[in-house]
Amino acid sequence: MNTIASASLPDSVQQPRYDRSALKTRIVHFGFGAFHRAHQALLTDRVLNALGGDWGICEISLFSGDRLMSALRAQDHLYTVLEKGRDGNQAIIVGAVNECLNAKLDGMEAIIEKFCEPQVAIVSLTVTEKGYCIDPATGKLDNANARIIHDLQNPNEPHSAPGILVEALNRRRERGLLPFTVLSCDNIPDNGHVVRNAIIGMAEKRSQQLADWIREHVTFPSTMVDRIVPAATPESLREITDTLGVEDPCAISGEPFIQWVIEDNFVAGRPRWEEVGVEMVDDVMPWEQMKLRMLNGSHSFLAWLGYLAGYQHINDCMADENFYRATHRLMMQEQAPTLRVTGVDLRQYAHNLLERFSNPALQHRTWQIAMDSSQKLPQRMLESVRWHLQQEDEWPCLALGIAAWMRYVSGIDDAGNAIDIRDPLAQKIKGLVEKSSEEERVLALLSLTEIFGNDLPGNDVFVQRVSAAWEELCNKGAKQAVMNLL
């Protein structure tokens, strides 16, 4: 069969310029999803193109991905990234991946052993917010999570990402091997500390010595990651086939913009990512907050309100002047003041975000961004609300955003159509929705302390403002409610 590994590709397609046979698995990556392919793997590929070296990546997928990984193997672990700008596209063949393992194809034991190979220096993760098995309101390990319960009872046969890492580190320690750096690349505030807490929290339940060894030897740098990479669709794959002249089932499209800010704290070396524009800093938190609140907060605002209003894609929302202006207002008046990042022109940052959101080539679905929202709401909106409550000022866009989440998870859009809600808390949310009338809904959903904490549901100003926004949304619909913000 003809694949991108065997076909002769057009000259316009960028291909690896380095010796791929020199690659070893120095990075093991959890979560061969859309994002990793177009971000960390692509930037590592850029380092290899610039400097050569042996920094190969082994891709791991636990719960699905067997077909994807079979396809990846059939094309020598090469795949395509199509960068889609307003002014045209660029196809890039990424060569940094040198092997892959999948739980269904290879078994969990082979996966755990891969983490134990002596040359493995970095384990990176893009397993989505829910993959960390934490309580979103506190960032602490969720001991009631079914996978965590399983892994604590069966520590040598783990199922969760933190459980697998604890078992791998345990084996490395027993074998006298050096540890690796754990590098979370998910949109979670303080992602390094969160994954550290989850791993040490589990290790402590196994053995104090193991927990102490991890504390002493393993590092967990936090990162800020940014590139809009929508899920692949039949249309996006067809466009790539047309560009290459051959099919690539592992291909992914995304925007040209890319940013990665990393705390420079690695125990066993790293690729020289700084040579390709990655920013290595001492403290990533201000950057993460800026991105999570300005970009992701606005994305969620648009996803819930846009979906309710009947807009399928983020760029459709941007084409509505009221949505555009309300998003700018949310960014500049309600998110930017809460930030402590220095040396960034936030006005320009907001302008660039609106440009990126407007990119018609991306077709980023509002429904996709609305997925797993229970895991996203705290860091994208609620932290900012807490800041405003302390300042005793106004936050109408955030209030409407939170009410829009409530309306979205209530399951019916403004045209009366049912919404397909995907969320790890979906069952619990459904129960609360079914048991409450429209008038009782806000209070019913505020009982979710894993999202709202213990403080917000008891704060009268918070409850009153979200309730007012909810009423407006129910009575007037999303389009009118957004217009009334202006």
**Residues that bind ligand NAI in the complex, under the rule CB under 6 A:** 31-36, 61-65, 126-131, 161, 186-187, 225, 227-229, 231
d(CA 146, CA 201): 16
Minimum distance, C-beta of residue 296 to ligand CS2, in the bound complex (Å) = 5
199 alpha-carbon distance from chain centroid: 19
Choose among ligand CS2, ligand NAI, none what residue 18 binds, the Cβ cut-off being 5 to 8 Å by kind.
Answer: none
Distance of closest approach, residue 472 Cβ to ligand NAI, in angstroms? 30
All residues at 6 or more sequence positions from 283 whose CB lies less than 8 Å from its CB, including other chains: 263
Nearest distance from C-beta of residue 227 to ligand CS2, angstroms? 5
Which of ligand CS2, ligand NAI, none binds 64 (CB below 5-8 Å, type-dependent)?
A: ligand NAI
Bridging pattern class, strands 55-61 and 97-102: parallel
The listed partner (ligand CS2, ligand NAI, none) that binds 369, CB under 5 to 8 Å by sort, is ligand CS2
In terms of C-beta density within 10 A (0-12 exposed, 13-18 middle, 19 or more buried), how is residue 415 classed? exposed
31 binds, among ligand NAI, ligand CS2, none (CB under 5 to 8 A by kind): ligand NAI
Stretch that binds ligand CS2, among 110-118, 225-233, 316-324, 413-421 (CB under 6 A): 225-233
* Nearest distance from C-beta of residue 61 to ligand NAI, angstroms: 5
| Residue 228 found at the interface with ligand CS2 (CB under 6 A) | yes
Report which residue's Cβ sits closest to ligand NAI.
33
Residue of 75, 80, 98, 296 interacting with ligand CS2 (CB under 6 A) = 296
Q: Which is nearer to ligand CS2, 368 or 484 (CB)?
A: 368
φ and ψ at 276, to 5 degrees?
A: -120, 25
Nearest distance, CB of residue 174 and ligand NAI, angstroms: 24
Taking CA 249 as the corner, what is the angle to CA 187 and CA 92, rounded to the nearest 5 degrees?
Answer: 70
Instruction: Give the nearer residue to ligand CS2 in terms of CB position, either 226 or 239.
Output: 226
Phi and psi at 288, nearest 5°, equal -65, -45
> Three-class SS string for 186-197?
CCCCCHHHHHHH
> Where do the DSSP E strands lie in 220-366?
223-226, 252-254, 259-263, 279-281
Contact partner, 363, from ligand CS2, ligand NAI, none, Cβ < 5-8 Å per class: none
Please name the residues in contact with 7: beta carbons below 8 A apart, sequence gap of 6 or more: 244, 245, 246
Maximum Cα interatomic distance, the chain, rounded to a whole number of Å? 66
Q: Shortest Cβ contact with ligand CS2: which residue?
A: 299
The option from ligand CS2, ligand NAI, none interacting with 32 (CB < 5 to 8 A, set by class) reads: ligand NAI
Using CA atoms, how far residue 361 sits from 29, 195, 350, in Å, is 28, 34, 20
Count of residues interacting with ligand CS2 (CB under 6 A): 10
- Give CA–CA dist 356/14, Å, rounded: 23
Shortest distance, CB of residue 289 to ligand CS2, whole angstroms? 13
The reply to whether 399 sits near ligand CS2 by the rule CB under 6 A is no
- The listed partner (ligand NAI, ligand CS2, none) that binds 59, CB under 5 to 8 Å by sort, is none
- Interhelix angle 396-409/383-391, rounded to 10 degrees, is 140
| Binding residue (CB under 6 A) for ligand CS2 from 135, 226, 248, 316 | 226
| Residue 326 lies near ligand CS2 (rule: CB under 6 A) | no
Nearer to ligand NAI, 161 or 432 (CB): 161
Q: Say if CB 104 and CB 111 are below 8 A apart.
A: no
Asked if 227 interacts with ligand CS2 (CB under 6 A), we say: yes
The structure tokens 């099919």 sit at 247
Sign for the CA dihedral angle at 394, 395, 400, 403 comes to negative
Is residue 369 part of the contact set for ligand CS2 (CB under 6 A)?
Answer: yes
Residues that bind ligand CS2 (CB under 6 A): 187, 226-228, 295-296, 299, 368-369, 376
